Amino acid sequence: MTETMETILVVDDAPANIDVLAGVLRPHYRVHFATNGADAIDIATRTLPGLVLLDVMMPGMSGYEVCQQLKADRRTREIPVIFVTSLEEAQDEEVGLSLGAVDYLHKPCPAAILLRRVRIQMDLHHHHRTLEAKVRDRTRELESTRLQVIRRLGRAAEYRDNETGLHVVRMSESAGILARALGMSEPSAQLVTEAATLHDVGKIGIPDHILLKPGKLDAQEWETMKTHSRIGAEIIGDDSSDLLRLARVVALSHHERWDGSGYPQGLSGRDIPIEGRIVSIVDVYDALTSERPYKKAWKSCDAAAYIQEQSGTAFDPELTPLFQQLLPQIDEINLRFTDNRQPA
């Protein structure tokens, strides 16, 4: 019975050399072999061995070239490569190690030394993969925790003028749908979804007598209300996280208007970040169809008509028709996360 089921690929143009190496290795490992560089790359790509023993001097493609190609391919770059060659000059060894090999053995190599060096590199590779898996798991855990904090912060701001806090859930999900329909990749669309949850986090800094006023704001109150975009950007701050960077962009830009009459920067047209343009539409639609202290909820058809009327004025005229096409999906989200709303 073998010691392990790990696989080693032996590459040498001389079958006699392959037989010698295979005889040493087979009591402990599965052995695949290739007699030229092209076959070696094909086998390594298909089988992903645990280690490659590679001759240098081969006709056609040299071992150095094989190593270069293996290290250039993301599928095989992490496979340890040990050169086993008759070349004994120091510069030859330097070349091999500079190409990414983990060791360099000279022929003929005693069986005990070969097995020992192979086992060391296999153990190191296994340990490296184990550590990488732990890092990935920990990173996912930290990302999940950070995401939950961000979502809760977004909902905390929304609770100030919407006791259920579900507006932020509805509009962020709708923003993701619109981003995907626009052709964004899934990671980018998911980033928009999560960043949108912080679009109104700056409301935390708006006094209750303004935020909860059951009527129209006067000019001074309205100027105070508009500061929530910049307050939100300041709360989010400058961070290296892609999510927080985008959340800051959304907080600053989701009240900009296509015609340049929005705030806080008065941006217009395509100068407004696409993520801000997406959030602007879904935010207004959900706000219109939600009941607030200062207004009753609009019916879905009336809110959709308003969005259409404002195409090219408040909203991106290319996004508006796409939004209209997606209304059934968006209304489904609104019903799933409903609070005090009119039937769609």
pLDDT 10s digits, 33-64? 999 999 999 999 999 999 999 999 898 899 99
Q: With contact defined as beta carbons under 8 Å apart, do 71 and 77 qualify?
A: yes
Residue 343 has pLDDT above 60, yes or no: no
Q: Pick the more confident residue, 25 or 137.
A: 25
Residue 143 has pLDDT above 90, yes or no: no
**Angle at which helices 274-288 and 327-336 pack, to 10 degrees?**
60
Residue 163 has pLDDT above 70, yes or no: no
Q: Which residues fall within 8 angstroms of residue 319, CB to CB, at 6 or more apart? A: 178, 182, 277, 278, 281
Domain segments of the chain as ranges: 7-133, 160-336
Q: Pick the more confident residue, 206 or 341.
A: 206
Residue 340 has pLDDT above 70, yes or no: no
Residue 241 has pLDDT above 70, yes or no: yes
DSSP class of 295: B
Burial class (CB in 10 A: 0-12, 13-18, 19+), 158: buried
Distance between CA atoms of residues 204 and 194, nearest Å? 19
| Architecture of the CATH domain 7-133 | 3-Layer(aba) Sandwich (3.40)
Residue 342 has pLDDT above 70, yes or no: no
Distance between CA atoms of residues 197 and 176, nearest Å? 11
pLDDT at 3: 44
Task: Please provide the CATH number assigned to the domain covering 160-336.
Answer: 1.10.3210.10
Helix/strand/coil percent split, the chain, to 5: 60, 10, 35
Edge to edge, the sheet with strand 30-34 lists 30-34, 7-11, 51-54, 81-85, 103-106
Peptide bond connecting 264 to the previous residue in cis, omega within 30 degrees of 0: yes
Lowest mean pLDDT among 133-137, 181-185, 330-334: 133-137
The region, left, alpha or beta by phi > 0 then psi within -120 to 50, assigned to residue 283 is alpha
Residue 204 has pLDDT above 90, yes or no: no
The region, left, alpha or beta by phi > 0 then psi within -120 to 50, assigned to residue 269 is left
pLDDT at 331: 92
pLDDT at 344: 39
pLDDT at 60: 87
Residue 251 has pLDDT above 90, yes or no: yes
Q: Pick the more confident residue, 185 or 146.
A: 185
Q: Pick the more confident residue, 324 or 293.
A: 324
Six-digit token pair at 1?
A: 């019975």
What are the φ and ψ backbone dihedral angles of 48, each rounded to 5 degrees?
A: 50, 65
Residue 68 has pLDDT above 70, yes or no: yes
Burial class (CB in 10 A: 0-12, 13-18, 19+), 98: exposed
- For the chain, the farthest-separated pair of C-alpha atoms sits apart, in whole angstroms, at 92
DSSP class of 201: G
Model confidence band, residue 176 (pLDDT cutoffs 50, 70, 90): very high
Residue 4 has pLDDT above 70, yes or no: no
